[in-house]
Amino acid sequence: MTTDLNIAPKPKRRWGMILASALVAFLLFGGALALLESLEPAPSPASTAPADELPRVTIMPLEERQMERNLAVTGTLLPRDEIAIGTALQDQRIREVLVEEGDLVAKGQVLIRLETDILTTKLNDTQAQVARAVAAVAEKEAQLAEAEASFRRTEKLRQSGVANVQTYDERRAAYLAADHALKALKAELAQSEAQVAEAKLQLERAEIRAPEAGIISERAAQTGAMPGSEPLLKLIRNGDIELAAEVPEADLPLVKPGQFVAVRLTGMDQIFEGEVRLVAPKVDPRTRLGIVKVMLPKDPVIRPGIFARGTLLLERRRVEAIADTAMLYQEPGNKPYVFVVDGEERVARRFVEPGLQRDGYVEIRSGLSKQERVVRSASAFLQEGDRIQPVTETDKPK
Please state the rounded mean pLDDT for residues 336-349. Answer: 90
Q: Residue 384 falls within a domain, yes or no? A: yes
The strands making up 94-97's β-sheet, listed across from edge to edge, are: 94-97, 110-114, 207-209
Q: Give the pLDDT band (50/70/90) at residue 147.
A: confident
Structural domain tally of the chain? 4
Q: Residue 163 falls within a domain, yes or no? A: yes
- pLDDT over 90, % of the chain: 43
Residue of 294, 389, 326, 367 lying closest to 76 (CA atoms): 294
pLDDT at residue 110 greater than cutoff 60: yes
User: Cα 278 to the chain's mean position, in Å?
Assistant: 6
Give the tens place of pLDDT for each residue, 209-268. Answer: 999 999 999 999 999 999 988 999 999 999 999 999 999 999 999 999 999 999 999 999
pLDDT at residue 39 greater than cutoff 70: no
Q: Domain check: are 216 and 337 in the same one?
A: no
Global pTM exceeds 0.75: no
Please state the rounded mean pLDDT for residues 123-148. Answer: 88
Q: Give the pLDDT band (50/70/90) at residue 112.
A: very high
pLDDT the model gives residue 28: 54
Q: Domain check: are 166 and 231 in the same one?
A: no
Contacts of 100 (CB under 8 A, 6+ apart): 216, 219
pLDDT at residue 395 greater than cutoff 90: no
Q: Residue 225 falls within a domain, yes or no? A: yes
Q: Residue 339 falls within a domain, yes or no? A: yes
Residue of 262, 265, 245, 260 lying closest to 308 (CA atoms): 265
Q: Domain check: are 339 and 363 in the same one?
A: yes
pLDDT the model gives residue 52: 61
Highest mean predicted confidence (pLDDT) among 88-92, 110-114, 342-346: 110-114
What is the domain range of residue 159?
118-196
pLDDT the model gives residue 340: 92
Least confident of 4-13, 113-122, 217-226, 266-275: 4-13
pLDDT at residue 168 greater than cutoff 90: no
Residue of 120, 138, 140 lying closest to 128 (CA atoms): 120
Query: 341, 375 in Cβ contact below 8 A?
Result: yes
Amino acid in position 134: V
